[in-house]
Structure 1
Amino acid sequence: MKLTIDKKYITLEEITKTSNIKISKDEEFITFINHTHDFMMNTIKQGKPIYGITTGYGDSGKNYVDYEDAAKLQTNLFRFHGCGIGVNLSYEVCRYAVICRTISLSKARSGVSMNLLHRLEMLIEKDIIPVIPSQGSVGASGDLTPLSYIAAVIAGEREVYYKGEIKDVMEVYNELNITPYVFEPKEALAIMNGTTIMSAIALKAIEEFEVILDSMESYVAGMFEVLLGDDTPVADFVHDSKPFSGQIAAAKNIKNKISGSKLTHGRDDRYDKFFADNHLNIQDTYSMRCAPQVLGVIRDNLVISKNWVETEINSVNDNPLIDGENQKIYTSGNFYGGYVAHAMDTLKICAANLADLLDKEFALLVDHKFNRGLGENLKLSKEPFFHGFKAMQISLSSLSADVIKNTTAASIHSRPTESLNQDKVSMGTTAANDFAKMIPDLHNMLSIAFIGMAQAVDIRGKDQVSPHLRNIHDETRKIVKPLLEDRRMDGDIKNIKVLIKDGKFI
């Protein structure tokens, strides 16, 4: 899908599905861009001091720069911010960053030229994607240092992802006969002074977390089946009585996925068996019974967080803002990434709750005292020298701790920088990086859990489970054989993780 970019609102789904972008050729849109740009340029030529255009940056805003030196100021801006650190962001995140920055600059309130928009368009069209370090931003004034890597690439400096490799951008430009771009006044600042990196990291992490949440509901549904669960906790009446939309959705998803199972039972069935079975509790443990409530609040927070990130991407978040229509210039603070920071801090807590629930449920699955006949550590072989899923449960539990310990809110750790000019900052990029780092651990946890689930289905009998769980079992067994005797399973975990990331278990 080719995404046409103009002033219109663009959804996260449109961004994730686009294969290419195109700057609109609509005359009204082009007029808006040119009008704002022309107003800004005329104001500069009149000798008026405008922050970041004819003045220095931050605390250096008291230093005046005349029109002739304004272009050099833009070059120096991306050069002195070339101090990014940490691992590089993925190709996907860096590509999202270029698209998102293009969306923001196309609102005709940043003062950039059509030429710059077309240069950003060219990067996506020819798949020349700036390599951006993950660290070096405090989230205000926006993601200055990481975004300098986009500005530098446009000007013919630093490195890019190209044809599956990291190359010097001038090597690519020379190959394609592309001339480096020369920034007009404010254009490098307009690229750098924004919240795009935190938003791009958030977008990719949310995209993956949605699949994780859907997969987790599949696992919970499977637990209702293989633990011979009472399906009352997913009944419509229960969740209509507490009508949070996320909780209702989670319960319906689980209920639909267990449809057709011969293993689950209703409340009356447990009443009938209660007096005959001294070990039968009248109700299941919280991790089973409250799963829709646990996952429901995650669903609702995910909706809120997606809305905030989407709004941020569609916002004009640089400084100053240029109102070409009313001939005004506004110095302000839209580069403060507070909404993304709070969204990511919230989703970190959500991810931790999901990890904790999965840890609790997998502990029930492998423990013979609670798994209702599935046996000690899901062993298919009864010999005393085999150990089943004992170590797999330890690995899964260790990952849950890795996720949970990183839930401290980054947004409360504002660091004053730049001569106390940036004395209150969002830490949005740190929060987004923190959330993104949880995703691989959650993938691995689910991989272990689904391998165990397949083993439980082998024990109960594949003919007894729902069509949904049978499909998950069949997909798993295509690449992971049943655990009959002790063997290494790290390769199995990696193989199943690919299926989870591809959404095969939702």
Structure 2
Amino acid sequence: MTTAVTDPVEYLSSTAVIFGNGRISIEQINAVAQHHLSVALSDDPLFQSKIDAGVAFLDKLLQEDGVIYGVTTGYGDSCTVKVPLSQVHELPIHLTRFHGCGLGDYFTPEQGRAILATRLCSLTQGYSGVSWPLLRQLSSYLNLDIIPRIPQEGSVGASGDLTPLSYVAASLIGEREVYYKGEVRQIAEVLPEQGLTAIKLRPKEGLAIMNGTAVMTALACLAYQRAEYLTRLSSRITALASLALQGNSNHFDEVLFSVKPHLGQNEVASWIRTDLNHHEFPRNSDRLQDRYSIRCAPHIIGVLRDALPWFKQTIENELNSANDNPIIDGIGERVLHGGHFYGGHIAMVMDSMKTAVANLADLHDRQMALLMDTKFNNGLPSNLSGATEDRRYINHGFKAVQIGCSAWTAEALKLTMPASVFSRSTECHNQDKVSMGTIAARDCLRVLQLTEQVVAASLLAVQQGVQLRINQGELHNTSLTADIQQMLKQLQHDYPLLQEDRPLEHSLRQLIGQIQQQQWSLYQEAADA
């Protein structure tokens, strides 16, 4: 479970994430982003030799008047323009400045921390030709919680996240704004307060910082954590919905799922089966099968659950890559020009993830519809109202909340249009095929937010439905598993039975926050995997 903190710097762990010492995981990036871990640079001799060799090789080429893209030439379509050696050291500064045209909302401090950590991970692969002062400055920013204020819009996701990452590069040379101690400050004012000075970017360093996939990959790391948790919370909500609807628990039978062996789908069915404790209600009808939003929930949630290993592998491969251009092989003394800045893999993951996540919103919207309607909810009050008999005429329960769920679900589903298919030729047709990975990642985060809103509303509703069954004597609390009992007890404490109509906005916002902080340790074995 993650915890929000007031002064994040005070909570930095003495155990640091070591960059340059092997692969970095999604979980480590998120821990750095959420202030749980500090960062450090490896003292491994091989890593240090890579950094030193890259710097020495670039210096050697400059002395020999060698031609290096983005070092002794202009950028992009201007690669044929040779830059005089007398101006080579000014070139990185101009790169940061002319890309300072981002618009839209700003990334949050947490997202900014993830971006810094992700870029540091790429640069410490040792193939970017960057120097120790740059790497140390990035590390100091993370450990001191000095976070560039980065606009969200302006990247097409190929040639890297140039415009947003220019705000990282600019902060290193003492320009633009940062988040610091809960305020927006000029970096030039903050640096001396921490005993730091702006660095002078060496040739290639501006390009090394900006010409990569750090923004989309950082957002993908944050998205992965939220999507993974939603698979577990969606399973719990489905179990509670089945209890509230007096559903047929045999829909989640172990033998039934053994004949369709998708691992994630079976895992979800197992969780729901365990939560239900294979509890059977006396049935008042001959209907053997629940509606699809209950019966097929493992198949719907399981799509995302089964995709998570591929998502994780792909995100972590991108995270642990040198993804700028050109690649500097200092030890082999080669400059390799390529296109590792292309964000196609992250774009595909984010487009796929947002579709699978939006389907969870749609699933719970349908479950809500069943719970509200007396034609389908097997004897629950209309709109799940807990009003007394004499007050039922003027009370409306979760009627408006269900309308909200439909609105949030519709917006989430609308955003599933893949961003990666909207490539645009730009920059004098040099960047003539681009990934749109950063737009896909931003879309995915929005879909996650909308789905978490639906999930919060659904959780309020299903716990109300179960409580009504208990109050009506149709379900005994002692028949529920210990985990279910504990969760319902906390929910009832925080969100009492809705009897008289009351505004639920505050409750919904509070519950969304608890979900995003992963308040409940669900199916601990999965959480520890």
Note whether the superposition's TM-score is higher than 0.5. yes
Q: Deviations over 1:344-403 (max 9, x none)?
A: 000111111111111111111111111111121112223222222111111111111010
Residue 370 (structure 1) aligns with: 376
C-alpha distance in 2, partners of 1:53/1:498? 46
Structure 1 SS opposite 2:89? helix
SS in 1 for 2:207: helix
**CA deviation after TM superposition for structure 1 residue 7, in Å:** 4.8
Aligned twin of 2:4: none
RMSD: 1.5
Greater alpha carbon shift after TM alignment, 26-35 vs 401-410: 26-35
- CA deviation map 1:239-282 (0-9, x unaligned): 221111111111112122223x7xx32xxx88xx6xxx4x4311
Kept in 2, the 8 Å contact 1:30–1:114? The answer is: no
Superposition deviation, residue 315 in structure 1: 0.6
2:101 corresponds to 1:83 = yes
Q: Secondary structure at the match of 1:251?
A: helix
Q: Name the counterpart of 1:65.
A: 83
What secondary structure, in the 3-state scheme, does the structure 2 residue paired with 1:315 have?
A: coil
Displacement, 1:116?
1.4
Do residues 389 (structure 1) and 407 (structure 2) align? no
Is 1:16 the counterpart of 2:16? The answer is no
Is the contact between residue 220 and residue 350 of structure 2 (CA under 8 Å) also seen in structure 1?
A: yes
Q: Helix, strand or coil for the counterpart of 2:86?
A: helix
Q: Which one is further off, 29-38 or 152-161?
A: 29-38
Aligned residues: 494
Shift of 1:210: 2.0
Is 1:430 matched with 2:444? no
1:354 corresponds to: 360
Match of 1:326 in 2: 332
Instruction: Map 1:293-304 to 2 at 5 A.
Output: 293-304=299-310
Match of 2:485 in 1: 470
Percent of aligned pairs sharing the same letter = 38
State the match for 1:2 in structure 2: 16
Is this contact kept in 1: 2:128–2:322, CA < 8 A?
A: yes
1:304-319 correspondence to structure 2 within 5 Å: 304-319=310-325
Given the two structures, how large is their TM-score scaled by the length of structure 2? 0.91
For 1:469 and 1:125, locate their aligned partners in 2 and report how far apart those are by CA, in whole Å: 40
Q: Secondary structure at the match of 1:500?
A: helix
Matches within 5 A, 1:236-275: 236-259=254-277, 264-265=279-280
Query: What residue identity is the alignment partner of 2:371?
Result: L
> Structure 2 CA distance, aligned partners of 1:491 and 1:125?
34
TM-score normalised by length of structure 1: 0.95
Map of 1:500 onto structure 2: 515
Unaligned runs of 5+ in 2: 1-14, 471-475, 523-529
- State how 1:153-302 maps to structure 2 within 5 Å: 153-259=171-277, 264-265=279-280, 277=284, 279-302=285-308
Once the two structures are overlaid, the 10-residue window that deviates more, 64-73 or 138-147, is 64-73
Counterpart check, 1:119 vs 2:125: no
- Secondary structure, aligned partner of 2:90: helix
Q: Please report how far the alpha carbon of residue 286 of structure 1 lies from its aligned counterpart in structure 2 after TM superposition.
A: 1.1
The answer to whether the Cα contact below 8 Å between 1:225 and 1:465 also exists between their aligned partners in 2 is: no
Aligned amino acid, residue 430 of structure 2: N
Between stretches 138-147 and 248-257, larger displacement belongs to 248-257
CA contact (8 A) 2:21 2:44 kept: no
2:423 corresponds to: 414
Query: Residues of 2 paired with 1:175 and 1:326: CA distance?
Result: 41
Q: Which letter maps to 1:38?
A: A
User: Which residue identity does 2:113 align to in structure 1?
Assistant: R
Asked if the contact 1:194/1:335 (under 8 Å) is kept, the reply is: yes
Aligned residues of 1:417 and 1:423 also touching (Cα < 8 A): yes
Q: Is the 8 A contact 2:401 2:457 kept in 1?
A: yes
Q: Give the match for residue 380 of structure 1.
A: 386
